[in-house]
Structure 1
Amino acid sequence: MTADLLVDVLNAAREHRSAPAVTDDRETITYGDLLARVLGTAHRLRDNGFQVGNRMLFSVRPGVRGIVLALGAVAAGGTVVIVDPGGAPELFRSRLALVSPTWAAAESVLYAAGVPGPVRAIARRRGLVVPSYRKLDVRHIRSGPWLPGVPRDALSASRLAEPVCYNEFPTHAPDRDAVVVFTSGTTAAPKAVVHTRGSLGSALRTLAARCSLGPGDQVHTDHLTLGLPALVAGAQWTITPAPRAGATHTILVPTDLASMLGTLPTTLRQVMLGSAPVLPPLLRRARAAMPDAEFLAVYGMTEILPVSIATAEEKLAHTGDLLGTPLPGVTARVAADGELFVSGPSMCRGYLGEPPMTEHATGDLARLDGGRIVLIGRKKDMILRDSLNVYPGLYEPAIAALPGVADAAMVGVPDEIGDERIVVAVVADPDGPPDLAARVRAALPGLIDSHAIPDEVVVVPSLPVSGRSRKLDRAALRELVSH
């Protein structure tokens, strides 16, 4: 049967009723509890006027309540719209106009932060301007206790999830929209990726199979991309500040792995890495610190995940930035200009308000080596110097592999005539030499193309990152090295 996010999760819940399903910092629920709460939430949502096709703005933190409410909304025939409340107010308004939601679910504290009071003052001192959720012309659901700012008629997520005598199981509907996630875009043209129950279900099945997830495994993450596959496979999903003893799988961004080495539980069998380049120095450190764990670098994007997975051994044995062989069902091709295009059953329906997508233009430059994808760089990261195109991704892995270098990035700094100076920023290993910049500069002529030799090499404490995914913020780095 075709994959279906909702049906696959609830079928696993029926099969593993007594096993632990989700653990957060408040409680642990079994698969039987999960099934009852999701079906109860769907039933009560419909009793309160929720209809098939309704969109729900969703700003509830990962945890038991959030997972139950999101699955319940999908079970009721709706679409969950993931919203970051910390974005610019203008961007929030433009995204709101695009999705036209009829419901909103948010943490109680977010409602309180949108009205004058102590919570709002604290948020603003931290640089957060939270939109006024209570002013949205929608039906409201609060996650957490009632606080000033929460509409009086807001439904409680906890009460929605209370057990009811209701056993109607959702029908198989892989083509029904399930989740909308905002990606790049401006206030004038926001982009919203629409995933169906089928596209998400395909992604979950693929990851569950590749990670060999099954009953008895314990998956630690606050990422839906690994948490939901755990539920499909009958494993336990734990959402706590750090992996606990007993965790067998986790997914981390590379910067978090670097800071957590030496503190991760020895029970981990598999560590997935994503959202940013995975460089050789980190992989070598990780393998030395955790020789019994398998490290997997996952390549994908909001529009289609996963595309490919490469093991640490495969990446270290390859001279370029190997992304791995496309996973089952995924098709990859390289266009004439070098851009990578991908498609497959886990690809989104498309962008909201735009025609359906037949394949996704990744924005990455790549080549195919024996069927394996090798990353060359990013189209939008291209540096133009002396009329020549320089792609940072082609050289950054080699620079990062130099002795004494923990991480490296290359950016172009525009001059007054539109040309660009090339600056390489390196982060030193803790035991790196004091003259690291000079050593890197001396090594580069024999390492990279002559037209890509940087005008300057600088040592920085760390590379700036942005967003929840903590990707390299090239604009911030460009600003940093321009002074």
Structure 2
Amino acid sequence: MSLDSIASIIRQHREERPDAVAIVEGGSEHTWRSIDEASSRLANAMAAAGVGRGDRVARIEKNGVDYFVTVFAASKIGATLVDVNWRLAPPEKQHIANDAGAKLLFVGNDFVGELGLIEPGLDTVTATIMVGEGGDGRPSLEEFMADHPATDPGVEAAPDDIALQLYTSGTTGLPKGVMLSNTNLFALIDEVPEKWQIHAESVSHVVMPTFHIAGSGWGIVSMAIGAKVVLDRDVDPSAILREIEEYKITTAIYVPAVLAFLQIVPNANDHDLSSMELIVYGASPITEDVLRGAMKQFSGTDFVQVYGLTETTGAVVELPPEDHDPENRPELLRAAGKPYPWIEMKIVGDDGNEVADGEIGEVWLKGTQIMVGYWNKPDETAKALNDEGWFRSGDAGYVKDGYLFLHDRVKDMIVSGGENVYPAEVENAIMGCPGVADAAVIGVPDEKWGEAVKAIVVKAPDTDVTPEAIIAWARERIAGFKVPKSVDFVDELPRNPSGKILKKDLRAPYWADRDRQIG
């Protein structure tokens, strides 16, 4: 059987290794057989509830085996799982469920308290299923599946069917659904496991949230190869180190903030980490100090940096282990790497033409991993993808000796701890705060998170609003990772003649001693 859809992954390994352990979560082991049977029961339950080919179902829950059961179940009937960022505020979660046209909503018990704010405004959801205990008229996942057979519905996917729909924030403040087809996903799966040293005997660590391509993509790639997955519900640095030693984990993807935390947890050096063969890192910039510290902590482990976006199905540029040479080629530790052979890349100037090596421009990418487009947003899709298939990344950089070096962002996006934060969302939230006359949001350097969200505020006349009041106001309206960590006050914001805020001018003092304008 060839792998060509998410459903084909579980189907193949159910036949080849039914009693092998596929996932370890919280000390519990789940075999390929048990996951296959659970996903078939769920697929049949979904079908009975009216979910079919091309439909979306939504999930609000932290990492768990239920994610893989649900994503396999959806694929078995030709549907698509929309895994919602559980860190978002209830109105944002509601918007995503409605935008996707989700027919079912799966919700973890940790988030039951939010349902009173989410459910009344849902347009298309016909039932809410609790991942855990049911109640208040909502069935548990087990109750929802109980009367349905563990027989595979047998729907076969087409290459253009949407395998994953992940939501990424937009500059307008509304999240956009990135449609990734089977062709997109399996372009990655067919090529990168060998580069990342993932094979059937690997023990792969999935700790990044599955609503991110770093979590879902890494987990699905690992399972496609037949590796055992050790799945963490949350990012817990102490638990990560314990699990590496206990389960002899061989490969993982960690964002730079996690690599930094691993170095400072109590007794960080008291664990046997010798099983780790390769660590992939990416999703946000890394400092040389953190990288050098990680390479020392995981002595003997290969490191790979990857650059990509949700819209590119994750990694499209890689800095391989041989280029991690701090003694002989330290300058390469600042490089993102080189594009994969199946990916085209060019650096484009403001005039739309490709610039010379060493000149800064926008990174454009092309290849089989580039998204189908944004769900129900043709105008946004047209802005991001041109007629020739080139994707405008919004990131600025330059190429030297074939290596991509990232310099800045063409868009105003802030990356804080691997989370994308768009200033427009935060500005829209805080502008309603009493006492705020004008506001701009920027990213400033932060040793822990890479960048921290800062609000620059102009007070309304005869008011004395405080930073604490602004932060509290924002916290009630947007996700915690988007809330400003600090607030500065100014008499007026710098603007160009057309009225656009000059974000570069605002950022300049905070980045004056940095060699690049990202964290």
Question: Which TM-score tier does this pair reach, normalised by the shorter chain?
Answer: 0.7 to 0.9
Q: Distance in 2 between matches of 1:411 and 1:60?
A: 25
Give 1:247's aligned amino acid. I
Segments of structure 2 that go 5 or more residues without pairing to the other structure are 208-214, 233-238, 264-268, 351-360, 414-441, 457-489, 495-504
| Aligned residue in 2 for 1:145 | 133
Q: Distance in 2 between matches of 1:187 and 1:175?
A: 28
- Which stretch of structure 1 is more off in the superposition, 250-259 or 238-247? 238-247
Q: Distance in 2 between matches of 1:409 and 1:142?
A: 35
| Aligned residue in 1 for 2:118 | 131
Secondary structure of 1:44 counterpart: helix
| Aligned residue in 2 for 1:319 | 331
| Aligned residue in 1 for 2:219 | 227
Q: Distance in 2 between matches of 1:26 and 1:44?
A: 28
Q: Distance in 2 between matches of 1:209 and 1:99?
A: 34
| Aligned residue in 2 for 1:361 | 392
| Aligned residue in 2 for 1:166 | 151
Question: Structure 1 residue 156: deviation in Å?
Answer: 2.0
Q: Does 1:340 align with 2:363?
A: yes
Q: Distance in 2 between matches of 1:225 and 1:94?
A: 24
Kept in 2: contact 1:248–1:267 (CA 8 A): yes
State the identity %. Answer: 21
Question: Structure 1 residue 69: deviation in Å?
Answer: 1.4
Residues 113-262 of structure 1 aligned to structure 2 (within 5 Å): 113-115=114-116, 131-132=118-119, 137-147=125-135, 149=136, 151-152=137-138, 154=139, 156-157=141-142, 160=145, 164=149, 166-185=151-170, 189-222=174-207, 223-240=215-232, 241-242=239-240, 243-244=243-244, 245=246, 246-261=248-263, 262=269
Question: Structure 1 residue 256: deviation in Å?
Answer: 1.4
Secondary structure of 2:194 counterpart: helix
Q: Does 1:289 align with 2:297?
A: yes
Secondary structure of 1:319 counterpart: helix
Distance 1:62 1:85, change over 3 A: closer
Q: Distance in 2 between matches of 1:287 and 1:348?
A: 33
Q: Distance in 2 between matches of 1:40 and 1:201?
A: 25
Runs of 4+ with >4 A deviation: 133-137, 186-189, 405-415
Distance 1:179 1:165, change over 3 A: closer
Give the TM-score of the pair, scaled to structure 1. 0.72
Secondary structure of 1:114 counterpart: helix
Residues 64-143 of structure 1 aligned to structure 2 (within 5 Å): 64-115=65-116, 131-132=118-119, 137-143=125-131
Kept in 2: contact 1:103–1:138 (CA 8 A): yes
Distance 1:290 1:95, change over 3 A: closer
Question: Structure 1 residue 15: deviation in Å?
Answer: 2.1
| Aligned residue in 2 for 1:59 | 60
Q: Distance in 2 between matches of 1:94 and 1:102?
A: 14
Kept in 2: contact 1:411–1:423 (CA 8 A): no
Kept in 1: contact 2:255–2:282 (CA 8 A): yes
Give 2:255's aligned amino acid. V
Residues 37-52 of structure 1 aligned to structure 2 (within 5 Å): 37-52=38-53
Kept in 2: contact 1:91–1:186 (CA 8 A): no
Secondary structure of 1:367 counterpart: strand
Q: Does 1:377 align with 2:364?
A: no
Give 2:132's aligned amino acid. G
- Which stretch of structure 1 is more off in the superposition, 343-352 or 161-170? 161-170
**May I ask how many residue pairs the two structures share in their alignment?**
400
CA deviations on 1:282-319 (whole Å, 9 max, x unpaired) are: 22112222221111111111111111121365254253
Secondary structure of 1:258 counterpart: helix
CA deviations on 1:48-70 (whole Å, 9 max, x unpaired) are: 32221221111132221221012
Secondary structure of 2:346 counterpart: strand
Kept in 1: contact 2:197–2:278 (CA 8 A): no
Question: Structure 1 residue 161: deviation in Å?
Answer: 7.8
